[in-house]
Structures are given as structure tokens and as C-alpha cells.
Amino acid sequence: MKQHYETVIIGAGMAGLAAGIRLALAGKEVIILERHNASGGLNSFYSQDGRKFDVGLHAMTNYVPKGTKGTPLTKLLRQLRIPYEALDLCPQNSSRIHFPGCQLRFNNDFALFESEIAAAFPKQIDGFRALAEEVRTLDAFNLGAIPSSARAAVQRHITDPLLEDMLFCPVMYYGSAQEHDMDYGQFAIMFRSLFFEGFARPLDGVRVIIKLLQDKYRSLGGVRKMKCGIRQIQSQDGKASAVVLDNGSVITADTILSTAGAVETARLCTDQPADAGADNIGQLSFTETITVFDKQPADFGWDDTIIFFNTAERFRYARVEPDRLVDPTSGVICFPNNYQYGEGRQLEEGFLRVTAMANHDAWCALDEDTYRAQKTHWYDKLQQVTLGLLPEAKLKLDTHRIASDMFTPRTVRKYTGHLNGAIYGAPGKIKDGRTHLDNLFLAGTDQGFLGIVGAMLSGISMANLHVLQGG
Amino acid sequence: MTEDQVKQIVIDIINEIAPDEDTTDLKPEVNLRDQMDLDSMDFLDIVMELRKQHGIEVPEEDYPQLASLDSCGAYLTPMFNAK
Ligand SMILES: Cc1cc2nc3c(=O)[nH]c(=O)nc-3n(C[C@H](O)[C@H](O)[C@H](O)COP(=O)(O)OP(=O)(O)OC[C@H]3O[C@@H](n4cnc5c(N)ncnc54)[C@H](O)[C@@H]3O)c2cc1C
């Protein structure tokens, strides 16, 4: 392997691949080093018994029809020089937010959401419209006099706590690394990406996106090495000088872009203590169950795309207490089949996925047998919660289930290296991507933007800012 | 090389980096940003392609010189001719 590159990128997730494409487009000598044997990071796929499972990708947010000017998706595709059609984005059917005694449906046309709120919360609709208008025009990076707490900012418009929680539930599940509250700028970015823009999915799932990014990067001459974890970042006089791989070999670089996370990256640096950044480790991790049927969800009478649910009196988005493995009172249900794939196109098998919050330490403390037993227990429990929320099944579930799987915070930690299995990373984001070393920068999850589109935009903007514009 | 040829080079680059924009009736004296949906990231790509395709380096402090086709022509033509 060559020993010097202009830029080393740590991680072949969405952010690392997007950053790599930008640098390769500019003719930079760039290498992506990934510890795992597959690209995609938090949003990848794996095979079991000859069946491909997506990790992540319920929905790609930020969906807009081709050519919609000034939107994140359009900008991203242009920056990566990927044609819109290549993503095969198929819009959702419709989704809903399901709380005790109240449901709000939404789809990729904001008018539906607005009318649902007008019907369910007639006294709140003026406030909701004012909130939506504010969110539409807000400069997410410069809030001016508006409170930075999203809860406080939203309460200026929405006075019914039920509606407030119902708005926060999807926004937090799809994009908050912070417990209980979030930054209002981040809220605005997520709100737009979910409700003004919308959900879509390629028929073949996240593989389509990863393959597109990988092929583009390779065609531009970018180098990518798998099973090449980085063990150390060495420095001299405040500058990163080299990375040491798990196998001991050393690569030097002018600039390093790390997508491994803020604290995770700091701890790779030889000039930092082993417990660096202890106060900025993410607390939120999740578990997900996947069930495969030999029928389509529609055959059971289930047409929703995504359901964000909460069954408790108040919605609680926070770390699961250490004496519990899973908090089944809220979560996300997804039917990947329920997208408009077009005439004659559909996933062969039916899929049901359920995500809920889970405690990382509790899962990791279990011995192997208990771990497996608890997986079975919680799979059943989440299934039961889900059935309670869905329209009554027209077919018998047990007869048509042909496979199932479940992953836990332990799985996330193992495959992506995120401390605590924290999918959304550190609560304190580093928006300019800078670190204590001059030429080491962060991109992806801990730079600030979450989700597939967010991670790619982060990779692009950090590559632009710190490498192409020369910092 | 004439200023018109240089302007055409810039239009070709815009067609390449922003294929969804219509460049047929661009007014040379009007800011490109007022006629098309281009942002600072797109200008970075124009600079990148000038370097890659033509070996022309535009320093960051000179990016404002690329605001319109006319200003691109005036600023870049001497650079092309000095190569
Ligand atoms: C279950 C689940 C469901 C999700 N659903 C959705 C969804 O429906 N829609 C959506 O938009 N987003 C979803 N997300 C979120 C989305 O996947 C992430 O926000 C995004 O993929 C983050 O990308 P990233 O590149 O920033 O980070 P990562 O994907 O974490 O990439 C970092 C990479 O760096 C590698 N790495 C770490 N340390 C080292 C090291 N020392 N040396 C070498 N390599 C290293 C890791 O292996 C990893 O591949 C979901 C995530 C999960 C887990």
C-alpha cells in the first residue's frame, strides 16, 4: 500500500464515501480506510440464509421530485454528480404519528398533515401554521432572538402538550442525539426533511445508494481499503502526522477527515487521554426487529409506510434506565413494501421493522445465553406492541412469518464502533468539524447532520470547507 | 483566446456541474446567481473544473470575479492567454 495521501478518510459510511467523491472529483489523492468488511456504516446491509437485510433505511428523508430547486437532495446530487434517476427514489404511501387517543397522518404533500392537525387540534392550527412558516424560513445556523431550545421555541406556537409531543416524536426519532430536547435549528432541518420534503426509498434499499457512491468514487480513481481499521492518530506540534492501522502499518496524510465520531476520534489520538470527551458520549441507542413474511403487508391490511408511536402519557425521548433493556412505550414501525415502486415492482417478501430505544450497557452486560433469550423476549414484546397499534391483521402472523432477526446496541457498537452504540452520536455536535489538531476534521454524525442525506451533506461540506477551500 | 471563447468554457463547465440548469439565454452582464440556482458550493466546482480541465488556479479571494459571464471573461481571459 502507498504510504502517503493528500487526504485520509476514516470510515466508509455515507459521510466518508460522499467526502471521498468530492475529493476524488477535485483530483486529490484520497484513501478511505474502513474497519468493517462492508461499506455503509450505520446504514448497511447483510445477508442471512441467502436473504439480504437492510440495517437502517426505513425511509430516505428529504425526498423531493426531480429538479426541485434549492433543496438538500438536489444540492447533494449535484455536488456528487449523480443523476437523480440513479437513486430510484420511490415515494411513500403515507405515514402517521400514533399517540393515545390521537393519530395524525402525513405524506409527501404537506397539505395532508396540515389538514389532519386542523381536524384533530382546531384550537392549535393557527399556532401550527405560524410554526411551520417560521421553520420554513428559519436560518438554521442563525436563530437570532429565537430560543435555541426547540421545546421552548415550539411552545411559543403550540400550547397543547399532546400536539407538541406528537411533533417532536418523529423529528427526534429521525434526528436527535440529545435527550428530551434538541437544538431549534436542528429541529427545523429535520422538520423540513420529514414534512415539507418527505420519504422515499429505492426498491432495492440502501444497497442502491451504497453501490452508487462506491462506484462513483472508484470511477474517479479514489482508493478504498476495507478491513483496515485505524488504531491511532499520531501528531506532532498540533498537527496530525500519520495514522496507524490495526495491522501496524502507517500512512501519512496532509489532512485527515474522520467519520468515526467526535469522542471516538479524540480517543484515537495519541496526545489525548484514553477517557477524552467522557462528557460528550451519546446516550441514545436503539434496537430493531425485522420480520419477514411470505405475504405483502397490504395482505394483512397494513398500508402505512412509517408509524411513529407513543403509548405513554408523555413522550419520553431519553436513555433507557440501566435496569431495563428496552423501552417499548415508543418507537418506529416501518413497512419497506409500502412505497410506490410503480407498476409491477414490489419486494418479493413482506417486511416489518420495529425500532425502539434500548440501553447499551444493559445489553452488553448479558452473557451469550441470556443475550439470546432476551432478544427472543423483546422481539415478542415489540411484536405485541406493534400489533396493538396496527389495524387488525387479516391473516395470521405466525403462519406467514418466514424469518426474523433483531439487532441491539451491542450490534451497532460492534459494527460501527460508535461508543454506547449511540446511533446519532454525541449530543454536542462540532459544527465546524474542527478538532484539537490543525489538519484533523470530523464529518458525518458528529459534525451535526443526521440521517443518510444529512451524513452525505456533512461529508460534502467538510471536504469542501477543509480540503478544497483549504480551511 | 477571446473573451467569448472563455465565456463558452465557463458555460460548458456549468452545463457539466449543473445539468438541470438552463444556460441557453444567460445574460452576460447579470450575476449568474440571479439567473440560475447556483450556490457557493457550485462556484467551488467551477473553480475545481477550471483547474482540472485548464490548469487555471483561481485563489479564494478572487471568487467574486466569477460573478457574471462578463466578469469571468474579463478575469479569466488573460489567465488563459498567459498559459
Ligand atoms: C437501525 C437504523 C435505522 C436508521 N434508519 C434511517 C433511516 O430510515 N433514514 C435515514 O436517513 N437514516 C437512518 N439511520 C441513520 C443513518 O444510518 C446515519 O445517520 C448515517 O448512516 C451516518 O453516517 P456516517 O457516515 O456519519 O457514520 P457511520 O455510518 O457510523 O460511518 C462511520 C464508519 O467509520 C467506520 N469506523 C469507525 N471507527 C473506525 C476506525 N477506527 N477505523 C476505520 N474505520 C472506522 C465505521 O465502521 C463506519 O463504517 C438509521 C440508522 C440505524 C442504525
Round to whole Å and give the CA distance between A453 and B51. 29
Q: What is the pLDDT of residues A257-275, one digit of tens each?
A: 999 999 999 999 999 999 9
The mean pLDDT value for A323-347 works out to 97
Round to whole Å and give the CA distance between B75 and B83. 14
| B74 contacts chain A (CB < 8 A) | no
Round to whole Å and give the CA distance between A412 and A425. 11
% of residues, chain A, pLDDT over 70: 99
What is the torsional sign of CA A177, A181, A184, A189?
positive
A92 CB less than 6 Å from ligand 1? Answer: no
ipTM of this complex: 0.84
CA atoms within 13 A on the CB side of A83: 4
- Report how far ligand 1's centroid is from the alpha carbon of A72 (Å): 19
Q: What is the pLDDT of residues A189-243, one digit of tens each?
A: 999 999 999 999 999 999 999 999 999 999 999 999 999 999 999 999 999 999 9
- AA letter at A355: T
CB-CB contact of A171 with A135 (8 Å): no
The mean pLDDT value for A406-430 works out to 91
In the predicted model, residues of chain B with pLDDT beneath 50 are none
Q: What's the longest Cα–Cα distance across chain A? A: 68
A72 CB less than 6 Å from ligand 1? Answer: no
User: Hey, how many other C-beta atoms are within 10 angstroms of the C-beta on B83?
Assistant: 8
Q: What values do phi and psi take at A163, rounded to 5? A: -65, -40
Domain at B3-81, CATH homologous superfamily:
ACP-like (1.10.1200.10)
User: Hey, how many other C-beta atoms are within 10 angstroms of the C-beta on A246?
Assistant: 13
- Report how far ligand 1's centroid is from the alpha carbon of A14 (Å): 7
Beta bridge partners of A225: A33
| A461 contacts chain B (CB < 8 A) | yes
A332 CB less than 6 Å from ligand 1? Answer: no
CATH for A4-86+205-279+425-468? 3.50.50.60
CB-CB: which of A78, A461, A468 is closest to B48?
A468
- Report how far ligand 1's centroid is from the alpha carbon of A41 (Å): 4
Q: What is the DSSP string of B1-67?
A: --HHHHHHHHHHHHHHH-TTS--TT--TTSBHHHHS---HHHHHHHHHHHHHHH-----GGGGGGGS
Asked if pLDDT for residue A66 goes beyond 60, the answer is yes
CB-CB contact of A335 with A292 (8 Å): no
Round to whole Å and give the CA distance between A377 and A120. 36
Radius of gyration of chain A (CA): 22
- The residue count of chain A comes to 471
Contacts of B42 in chain A (CB under 8 A): 78
Q: Min CA distance, B21 vs chain A (Å)?
A: 9
Quote the distance between the C-alpha of residue A457 and its chain's center.
13
Listed range (A43-52, A131-140, A305-314) with the worst mean pLDDT: A43-52
Asked if pLDDT for residue A56 goes beyond 80, the answer is no
pLDDT at A97: 98
What is the average pLDDT score of chain A? 95
Q: Which of B18, B9, B58 shows the shortest CA–CA distance to A82?
A: B18
A451 CB less than 6 Å from ligand 1? Answer: yes
pLDDT at A39: 93
